């Protein structure tokens, strides 16, 4: 994939207010820990995740996605009539049908000519949506498009805690398969792309590469199962095998990625990767020969926020000055399946630093706001 006419104009995020620490989760697992004689503190020790956040009970993902997408549109100063595609890419959704994107589209007041649908690809949902929007812009089908998603981890963590405490048949090995579910956090993120002539930032999306190693699709599987006297989401993950095979898939993809965007590894100035855990981040960067100092991490405070993990980490990195003008930025996405998607961006500036008006015939100049 190579692009000449696509810019990554704005990345926005929204975070829940409720903070849940790993110590709090382990406190609720006291019956399990006592029964299996598990040492306290293992959750943070093994993952590096100190806390994660939860949305209020009963919140629909579309509610937060609307707020997050609105931030991106305002930050870019883009007339919403120029938005020709809206993709909702998170694992969490309002209902099986219609597409959650429909509710977001309606509440944003976007054009009836806007293409609207959901994309499901585990932790690569938003990045997959970015590729689809970029393709449409490059083909001249649309002027701009937005990819948004909201992950809600509360129900998965609650169901996992209930199952681990109530099912006395579970062994230590069984607990390992549920361990990754306790690292999941909630968050919302959006990425807005525009054709080059509309861009106020000049942040060109250069291209990227995708790789599927689907012989490992069974390593992480989530579904709705019976938990106590109700149905709830549960996920079973062979974390060690997924870590090993995911890093292997990333290594196999990286050389093709560099060739596609025309970089050497040493030419990469900054990186953002999917946020799984401390061990995953360390092994990934070592396998790709990348300096940890050029990477930005959020896993300690946000946990694994699924499909929004990489976008929200990028947004926070921008907000905190991790990126500078002329940085070559690598977005390193890995999701269960196993799928790898790596994208390269020639970074110039955030929307708040852009001063000249848009050239769109529909444009009404709005004051740019920070991606927060």
Above 60 in pLDDT, residue 358?
no
Domain containing residue 208: 204-350
**Residue 168 belongs to a domain:** no
- 46 versus 228: which is more confidently predicted? 46
pTM above 0.85, yes or no: yes
DSSP state of 106: H
Closest to 166 measured CA to CA, from 229, 248, 238, 97:
229
> Are residues 118 and 189 both part of a single domain?
yes
Angle subtended at Cα 97 by Cα 94 and Cα 103, rounded to the nearest 5 degrees: 55
> Are residues 210 and 144 both part of a single domain?
no
> Are residues 148 and 251 both part of a single domain?
no
> Are residues 114 and 12 both part of a single domain?
yes
Beta-bridge partner residues of 227: 230
Above 70 in pLDDT, residue 228?
no
- 73 versus 351: which is more confidently predicted? 73
Q: What are phi and psi of 106, to 5 degrees?
A: -60, -45
**Residue 173 belongs to a domain:** no
> Are residues 190 and 239 both part of a single domain?
no
What's the mean pLDDT when you consider all of the chain?
Answer: 89
Burial class from Cβ neighbours inside 10 Å (0-12, 13-18, 19+) for residue 66 reads buried
Burial class from Cβ neighbours inside 10 Å (0-12, 13-18, 19+) for residue 296 reads middle
> Are residues 208 and 197 both part of a single domain?
no
CA–CA gap between residue 168 and residue 166 (Å, rounded): 6
Catalytic (active site) residue 7: no
Q: Are 148 and 133 in contact (CB under 8 A)?
A: no
Look up the CATH number of the domain holding residue 151. Answer: 3.40.47.10
**Residue 165 belongs to a domain:** no
pLDDT at 226: 63
316: which 2 tokens? 């926070």
**Residue 359 belongs to a domain:** no
> Are residues 196 and 230 both part of a single domain?
no
Closest to 74 measured CA to CA, from 243, 190, 218, 222:
190
Q: Which residue, of 173, 201, 229, is where some domain finishes? A: 201
Q: How confident is the model at residue 60 (pLDDT cuts 50, 70, 90)?
A: very high
Q: How confident is the model at residue 260 (pLDDT cuts 50, 70, 90)?
A: very high
DSSP state of 20: E
Q: For residue 356, how many other CB atoms are within 10 A of its CB?
A: 7
Above 50 in pLDDT, residue 355?
no
Q: Are 260 and 321 in contact (CB under 8 A)?
A: no
**Residue 363 belongs to a domain:** no
> Are residues 31 and 144 both part of a single domain?
yes
Q: How confident is the model at residue 366 (pLDDT cuts 50, 70, 90)?
A: very low
Q: Which residue, of 146, 170, 201, is where some domain finishes? A: 201
**Residue 320 belongs to a domain:** yes
Q: Which residue, of 201, 234, 261, is where some domain finishes? A: 201
169: which 2 tokens? 């048949």
- Among the ranges given (194-198, 256-260, 352-356), the one the predictor scored with the smallest mean pLDDT: 352-356
Above 80 in pLDDT, residue 25?
yes
The rounded percent of the chain whose pLDDT value lies above 90 is: 73
Q: Are 281 and 299 in contact (CB under 8 A)?
A: yes
pLDDT at 145: 98
217: which 2 tokens? 């699709």
Q: Select which of 7, 102, 114, 123 is catalytic.
A: 123
List of E strands, the chain: 6-14, 18-21, 51-54, 83-88, 115-118, 144-151, 187-195, 204-212, 220-227, 230-237, 270-273, 295-296, 328-335, 339-346
Q: What is the pLDDT of residues 66-115, one digit of tens each?
A: 999 999 999 999 999 999 999 999 999 999 999 999 999 999 999 999 99
pLDDT at 357: 34
> Are residues 314 and 341 both part of a single domain?
yes
Above 70 in pLDDT, residue 353?
no
> Are residues 208 and 228 both part of a single domain?
yes
Catalytic (active site) residue 220: no
Q: What is the mean pLDDT of residues 233-243?
A: 77
Q: What is the mean pLDDT of residues 257-270?
A: 94
Above 90 in pLDDT, residue 356?
no
> Are residues 142 and 286 both part of a single domain?
no
CA–CA gap between residue 206 and residue 151 (Å, rounded): 28
Which residues fall within 8 angstroms of residue 199, CB to CB, at 6 or more apart?
Answer: 7, 9
- 260 versus 243: which is more confidently predicted? 260
**Residue 368 belongs to a domain:** no
Q: How confident is the model at residue 231 (pLDDT cuts 50, 70, 90)?
A: low
Provide the number of structural domains found in the chain.
2
Q: What is the pLDDT of residues 125-177, one digit of tens each?
A: 999 999 999 999 999 999 999 999 999 999 999 999 999 999 899 888 888 88
**Residue 77 belongs to a domain:** yes
> Are residues 238 and 196 both part of a single domain?
no
pLDDT at 337: 85
Q: For residue 300, how many other CB atoms are within 10 A of its CB?
A: 16
Closest to 90 measured CA to CA, from 19, 16, 186, 205:
186
pLDDT at 239: 78
């Amino acid at each position: 994939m190579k692009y000449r006419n696509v810019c990554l104009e704005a990345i926005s995020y929204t975070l829940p207010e409720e903070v849940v620490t790993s110590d709090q989760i382990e406190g609720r697992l006291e019956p399990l820990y006592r029964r299996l004689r598990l040492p306290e503190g293992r959750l943070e020790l093994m993952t590096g995740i100190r806390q994660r956040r939860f949305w209020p009970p009963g919140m629909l993902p579309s509610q937060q996605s609307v707020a997050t997408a609105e931030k991106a549109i305002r930050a870019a100063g883009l007339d919403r009539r120029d938005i020709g595609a809206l993709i909702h890419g998170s694992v969490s959704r309002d209902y099986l049908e219609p597409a959650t994107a429909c509710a977001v589209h309606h509440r944003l007041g976007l054009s009836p000519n806007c293409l609207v649908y959901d994309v499901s690809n585990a932790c690569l949902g938003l990045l997959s949506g970015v590729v689809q929007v970029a393709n449409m812009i490059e083909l001249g089908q649309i002027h701009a498009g937005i990819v948004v998603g909201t992950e809600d981890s509360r129900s998965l963590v609650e169901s996992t805690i209930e199952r681990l405490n109530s099912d006395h048949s579970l062994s230590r090995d069984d607990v390992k398969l549920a361990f990754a579910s306790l690292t999941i956090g909630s968050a919302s993120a959006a990425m807005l792309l525009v054709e080059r002539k509309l861009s106020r930032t000049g942040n060109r999306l250069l291209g990227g590469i995708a790789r599927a190693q689907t012989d490992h699709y069974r390593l992480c599987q989530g579904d709705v199962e019976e938990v106590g006297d109700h149905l709830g989401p549960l996920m079973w993950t062979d974390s060690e095998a997924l870590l090993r095979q995911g890093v292997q898939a990333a290594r196999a993809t990286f050389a093709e990625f560099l060739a596609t965007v025309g970089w050497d590894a040493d030419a990469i100035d900054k990186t953002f990767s999917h946020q799984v855990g401390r061990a995953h981040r360390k092994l990934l960067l070592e396998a790709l020969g990348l300096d940890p100092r050029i990477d930005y991490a959020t896993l300690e405070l946000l946990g694994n926020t699924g499909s929004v993990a990489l976008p929200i980490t990028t947004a926070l990195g921008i907000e905190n000055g991790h990126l500078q003008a002329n940085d070559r930025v690598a977005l390193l996405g890995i999701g269960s399946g196993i799928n790898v998607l790596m994208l390269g961006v020639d970074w110039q500036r955030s929307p708040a630093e852009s001063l000249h008006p848009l050239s769109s015939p529909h444009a009404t100049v709005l004051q740019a706001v920070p991606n927060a």
